[in-house]
Amino acid sequence: MDTNLVTLIIGLVVVFGIVTLLFRVQKLGGRGEATISVAQLFTASVKLEAEKADRAKATEALRKAVEQRGEPAEQVTVPDDNSSSGFARILWVDDHPDNNLFETVALESLGRFVTQATSTEAGLRYLSQLPYALAITDLGRHGDAGAGVDFIRQAKQTDHTLPIIVYTLNAQRVREEVIAAGAAAVVDRPDELLRQVAKQLAANRSVHSGMFLREG
């Protein structure tokens, strides 16, 4: 995002905070004390950013991701996202995160905060420290073909409601095994990944609303 635009947004958030604070003081009749927290300012900033979710940029990144795989991208579009009323934090576990560059750009352009982890251990540590609305994982990591399945099983022990999407080649071949391990979906196309992310976030919103950043 352009630096000047970021500065403008921050300035608007600060002004919003000051006006809100003054309004609260006025409601108190000039007596007592009124405060507004940094968290409230951050929430307001997130709301402003959410309204600027860049679907055009997301679509461009998605098409590049498809083209990178040697597939036709003429008909690729960003799926409708019913969960766009709030940002969501996503954990992505993959030992080669640069391979997912365009998919990550597409997700972040739609207001998703993506945390990258390159090992099962790091992914589990992130899950223990921060609330996540969804996780994405590959299957093989660092020579271990079962790393993704191990991550799913261990993550589910911590939070059985966490939706986990497996993003891997030859999804059809491994789907039955991976779903049995606890995955919510197994996909191998960038557009299908975004479609499943939107679907799982919408389904999971009522379960873990704290993992979505929203007003209030």
pLDDT digits (tens, 9 = 90+) for 28-58: 454 445 444 554 444 444 444 544 568 899 9
Name the residue among 52, 53, 40 with its Cα closest to residue 13: 40
Mean of all residue pLDDT scores within the chain: 79
pLDDT at 111 over 70: yes
Average pLDDT (189-216) is: 74
Q: Confidence band (pLDDT; 50, 70, 90) for 94?
A: very high
Q: Give residue 51's pLDDT.
A: 44
Q: Give residue 79's pLDDT.
A: 78
Residue 96: other Cβ atoms inside 10 A: 9
Q: Which of 2-16, 63-77, 148-162, 189-203 has the lowest mean pLDDT?
A: 2-16
More confident residue, 166 or 21: 166
Q: Confidence band (pLDDT; 50, 70, 90) for 85?
A: very low
Domain boundaries, the chain: 3-50, 55-213
- Residue pair 102/61 in contact (Cβ under 8 Å)? The answer is yes
pTM greater than 0.75 = no
User: May I ask the CATH architecture of the domain 55-213?
Assistant: 3-Layer(aba) Sandwich (3.40)
Alpha helices (H) along 51-205: 55-68, 101-109, 120-129, 147-158, 171-181, 190-204
Q: Give residue 216's pLDDT.
A: 39
In the chain, DSSP assigns E strands to 87-93, 112-117, 134-137, 164-167, 185-187, 212-213
Percent of the chain having pLDDT more than 70? 68
Q: Give residue 46's pLDDT.
A: 47
How many Å apart are CA 54 and CA 111, to the nearest integer? 8
Average pLDDT (97-125) is: 96
- Residue pair 100/92 in contact (Cβ under 8 Å)? The answer is yes
For the four alpha carbons of 75, 175, 137 and 124, in that order, the dihedral sign comes to positive
More confident residue, 211 or 111: 111
**Cβ-based neighbours of 32, under 8 Å, separated by 6 or more:** none
